A and B are shown apart, each in its own frame.
Chain A
Amino acid sequence: MTGHVELLSAADLHASYGTSHILRGVTIEVSRGETVALMGRNGMGKSTLIRTIMGLVPAARGRVTLAGVDATRLPTFARSQLGIAYVPEGRGIFGTLSVAENLDIAARPGPDGENAWTINRVLELFPRLAERRTNRGDQLSGGEQQMLAIARALLTNPRLIILDEATEGLAPLIREEIWSTIRLVRETGLAALIVDKSVSELARISDRVVVLVKGEVVHEGPPATLLADQALMHRHLGV
């Protein structure tokens, strides 16, 4: 693994919700500038893995290292401050705050003091948000809310962005807009860990795919290998 600088490294992660054991020893890594797709059917533990990485679900066993720091026991805000931005499923925007306030409270320099993403720059990336600055978050359409969620994550000037179902429930045109934004952001060198239903889009954008089945990693490798393996695709992804 020479030459790789690991931003995110989870080793042998176990986590449970109540009595159900969701993660069963997951090991996953994301290096600087790398885009990793996390795949698997519903209920296989993708969201739980991400929430455990963010410290929103306690790890029963295992270790989370973020930007070289052992984050296993760190609270969520401290993990964010290490440069890990998370756009959750359902977007998690503040509906009672205006668009401007949603952006303003998130904006800060990154962990090394870098300030590449400013409010003006995210508004250039998403001109529709600029038009709706004074609107409340809950007055936005689904697509606009997703843009706001991504914009807000970028404003923390992260090293890695985690996107959980960022295109879910959106019209095809808006979906395409979100994907092209993700490609744009990726070109800036930001590392990404992406969960999405669209295997073809994920394969196109990612450097590596990780497939999760019942809380365990069953496949890992370049997207081409996965796409070529019809049996694997069918068995684990249902496509």
Chain B
Amino acid sequence: MSLAGFLAQLLNGVQYGLLLFLIASGLTLIFGVMGIINLAHGSLFMVGAYVAFLVTRAVGSAWLALPLALLGGAAFGSLLERGLFRHFYRRDHLDQVLLTFALILLFEEARSILVGNDFHSVAVPAIFDFSVPITAGFSYSAYRFVVIGVCLALAVALFFWIERTRMGAIIRAAAEKPEMVDVIGIDARRVHMTVFAVGTALALTAGALAAPLYSVYPGMGDGFLIISFVVVVIGGLGSISGAFWGALLIGLVDTLGKAYVPAVAGLAIYVLMAAVLLWRPTGLFGQRG
């Protein structure tokens, strides 16, 4: 295959990986701080994609869907945390699995009632519906560049927030010793709600960004959820840096694999996961011991 073709696949891999990071970072953050594995996180991604679809149908462009997914996602995440998840942190893992599995069914049912069960394509926002010439024989989708840019900007903002702000330090403290956060007088419930709101906002935003690339369809969150779990496990449970590098790795391996060795591509990321776990059982950035 040509160099231009390889470049295009490389960019596709980076774009896919960064999208996975938006999903996986919320998943790993929520697990790291609250100890809950949110199986419905993929459904939140789906909600974001359908928001983009509905916004496009209503106003003709998916552009407005982005701020709506981000802000609406934060509000929706706060509500979910307040109304449901908060009551499950101290419960058994089985109860948590049942809750989040039930949410998948509820979200799918709601989607079916509100929008139906058909596949829908979502148009790329008109202003980005063109190709950027890179070399003489190769140009690349402007919208995919936008997706890469938005994901990178959100990743930088997330890193800054977690690593450089007081709230970020409190979140890291809560992930390490939740009890001591309360002991120094910080209301852990507010920390939990904030983390859940941010995780949900990122998942919805990922969905809204993905809709023009992958269309919207029933159960579309499931595949992304499973791959995001692979990302989280490879990166190390609870690690944002791990989620970032894990997502890029999976995005590239999956995309390049499908392009060059399609016969085994479906297996490649799971083999990679097994190999990483054999080498480092707690993942690339996981805390050991």
Contact = CB atoms under 8 A, between A and B. Distances in A.
A156 B184 contact: yes
B180 interface: yes
Contacts of A152: 184
B185 A77 contact: yes
A105 interface: yes
Interface string B133-172: 0000000000000000000000000000000001001101
A207 B190 CA distance: 39
Contact of B169 (A78, A88, A97): A97
Interface in A96-122: 96-97, 101-102, 104-106, 108
B285 to A, nearest CB: 12
Contact of B166 (A86, A88, A105): A105
B177 A105 contact: no
B160 to A, nearest CB: 14
Contacts of A101: 169, 172-173
A-B complex: 8 closest residue pairs judged by Cβ atoms: A80-B185, A76-B182, A101-B169, A106-B184, A92-B180, A94-B173, A77-B182, A77-B187
B171 to A, nearest CB: 10
Contact of A56 (B172, B173, B179, B188): B179
Contacts of A86: 183
A45 to B, nearest CB: 19
A108 B170 CA distance: 14
Contact of B185 (A81, A93, A102): A81
Contacts of B170: 105
B283 to A, nearest CB: 16
B159 to A, nearest CB: 15
A54 to B, nearest CB: 7
Nearest to B180: A92
Contacts of A88: 180, 183
A68 interface: no
A13 to B, nearest CB: 19
A197 B149 CA distance: 59
A85 B182 CA distance: 11
Contacts of A153: 184
Interface residues of B, number: 19
B186 interface: yes
A92 B170 CA distance: 14
Contacts of B185: 77, 80-81, 106, 108, 156
Interface string A4-19: 0000000000000000
Nearest to A153: B184
Main secondary structure of the interface of B (DSSP, over half): helix
A95 interface: yes
Given A104-B166, A104-B169, A96 B183 contact: no
Nearest to B168: A101
Contacts of B287: 96
Interface in A26-85: 54, 56, 75-78, 80-81, 85
B182 A75 contact: yes
B176 interface: yes
Contact of B183 (A92, A95, A108): A92
Interface in A105-162: 105-106, 108, 152-153, 156
B177 A77 contact: no
Contacts of A93: 180
B184 A80 contact: yes
Nearest to B175: A96
Most A Cβ at <10 Å: residue of B169, B176, B185: B185
A103 to B, nearest CB: 10
Given A56-B179, A77-B182, 17 more contacts: A56-B183, A75-B182, A75-B187, A76-B179, A77-B183, A77-B186, A80-B183, A80-B184, A85-B184, A88-B180, A94-B176, A96-B172, A97-B169, A101-B173, A104-B169, A105-B166, A105-B186
A96 B287 CA distance: 10
Contacts of B188: 77
Nearest to B187: A77
Contacts of B181: 77
Given A77-B188, A104-B169, A105-B166, A96 B180 contact: no
Contacts of B184: 80, 85, 105-106, 152-153, 156
B130 to A, nearest CB: 46
Contacts of B177: 92, 94
A153 B187 CA distance: 16
Contacts of B176: 94-97
Most A Cβ at <10 Å: residue of B172, B182, B187: B182
A97 B183 contact: no
Contacts of B187: 75, 77-78
8 contacts: A56-B182, A77-B183, A81-B185, A85-B184, A94-B172, A152-B184, A153-B184, A156-B185
